Structure 1
Amino acid sequence: MSESKADERDETAKPRRRQARGERRIQQLLDAAAHVFCRTGYTSASTNAIAREAGVSPGTLYQFFPNKEAIAVELGERLNRRMLETHGTVFTPENVGLPLGELLDTILDPMIEFNCANPAFLALIQSSDAPGRLLEEHAELHDSIQDRISELIGVRNPDLSPERRAHTTTMAFALFKAGLALILGHEGAEREAYVVELKTALYGYLAPVLGTEGVSARP
Structure 2
Amino acid sequence: MSEVEEKPRRRQARGERRVTQLLEAAASVFCTSGYRAASTNAIAREAGVSPGTLYQFFPNKEAIAVELGGRLIQQMQQAHGLVFTPENAALPLSEMIDRIVDPFIDFNCANPAFLALIKGPDTPGKVTDEHDQLHASLLERVDRLIELRAPLLSAADRARIAEIAFAMFKTGLELVVAQEDAEQDAYIKELKGLLYRYLAPYVGTESRPPLGHH
| TM-score (ref. length: structure 1) | 0.95
In structure 2, the partner of 1:125 is: 118
- The code of the aligned residue for 1:171 comes to I
In structure 2, the partner of 1:149 is: 142
**Whole-angstrom distance in 2 between the partners of 1:54 and 1:138:** 26
2:191 matches 1:189: no
2:28 matches 1:28: no
2:56 matches 1:63: yes
- 1:161-209, Cα deviation, whole Å (9 max, x unpaired): 1110011000100110111111112111111101000000000111111
SS in structure 1 opposite 2:19? helix
Q: RMSD value over aligned CA atoms?
A: 1.0
In structure 2, the partner of 1:4 is: none
| TM-score (ref. length: structure 2) | 0.97
In structure 1, the partner of 2:102 is: 109
**1:1-219 equivalent positions in 2, closer than 5 A:** 9-218=2-211
**Whole-angstrom distance in 2 between the partners of 1:125 and 1:17:** 34
Q: Percent identity?
A: 61
**Whole-angstrom distance in 2 between the partners of 1:73 and 1:178:** 24
Q: Following superposition, which runs of at least 4 residues in structure 1 exceed 4 angstroms of deviation?
A: none
- 1:69-104, Cα deviation, whole Å (9 max, x unpaired): 000000000000000011011111211111111100
- The code of the aligned residue for 2:66 comes to V
SS in structure 1 opposite 2:195? helix
**Whole-angstrom distance in 1 between the partners of 2:9 and 2:165:** 47
- The code of the aligned residue for 1:126 comes to K
Q: Which runs of 5+ in 1 are unaligned?
A: 1-7
Structure number, greater radius of gyration = 1
SS in structure 1 opposite 2:81? helix
* Aligned residue pair count: 212
- The code of the aligned residue for 1:153 comes to I
